[in-house]
Amino acid sequence: MTDRSGMRVIGLAGWSGAGKTTLLTRLIPVLVERGMRVSTVKHAHHEFEIDRPGKDSFLHRQAGATEVIVSSARRWVQIREGRGEAEARLPDLLRRLSPCDLVVVEGFKREAHPKLEIYREGNGRPPLHPGDPRIVAIASDRPFPQARVEVVSLDDVAELAKRIRDWAEPIDSVLERLRGAAE
């Protein structure tokens, strides 16, 4: 894949503890097995580290480098320090991705991209879908007969993998909507 025209975007939205990451780590291998190239964008609500204290990349950032790229024969990573800048917005992050078939966004639940709500009743939080028109389907451990969108069992990974690309939207449509929402 050399261009971004076939890229589609969907988010996983839900309260902390609903199982977004657990579902995603079960879903990605099924999608890859079906021939899809999958990329993810994850929002963190706190400061995080991807390199460890004492490693060269960590020392470079601590010394004041704004960006550090670490490369090997197997992978590369780019780390950017905000140094007081505003948090990166979802459209900016989506534009940085290399071409793929599907981008799954975990978090950013208040953004205007299509989302699969991950709902776990034992979490004790209210569902998001009644108040978010961008929720296109629900993966849940309980039925929602009044839902305006399809509900699939949270444990039916095969069905979710079969349907997720249909629920996703082309990246250009998502970027246009996100641009409009920011104005």
- As a whole number, mean pLDDT of residues 162-181 equals 92
Q: Name the CA dihedral angle for 152, 156, 161, 164, rounded to a multiple of 10 degrees.
A: 10
Could you tell me if residue 60 is inside a domain? no
Instruction: Choose between 159 and 52: higher pLDDT.
Output: 159
Could you tell me if residue 168 is inside a domain? yes
| Gap between the Cα atoms of 60 and 63, Å rounded | 5
Q: For residue 1, what pLDDT is reported?
A: 46
Could you tell me if residue 63 is inside a domain? no
Could you tell me if residue 150 is inside a domain? yes
pLDDT digits (tens, 9 = 90+) for 87-137: 888 999 999 999 999 999 998 888 999 999 999 999 999 999 999 999 999
Q: State percent of the chain over pLDDT 70.
A: 95
Could you tell me if residue 155 is inside a domain? yes
| Gap between the Cα atoms of 79 and 70, Å rounded | 8
Q: For residue 69, what pLDDT is reported?
A: 82
- As a whole number, mean pLDDT of residues 172-183 equals 82
Could you tell me if residue 93 is inside a domain? yes
pLDDT over 80 (residue 11): yes
Q: Which domain holds residue 93?
A: 8-46+87-182
| Gap between the Cα atoms of 79 and 74, Å rounded | 17
Q: For residue 5, what pLDDT is reported?
A: 80
Domain count, the chain: 1
**CATH number for the domain including 12?**
3.40.50.300
Q: Are 142 and 125 in contact (CB under 8 A)?
A: no
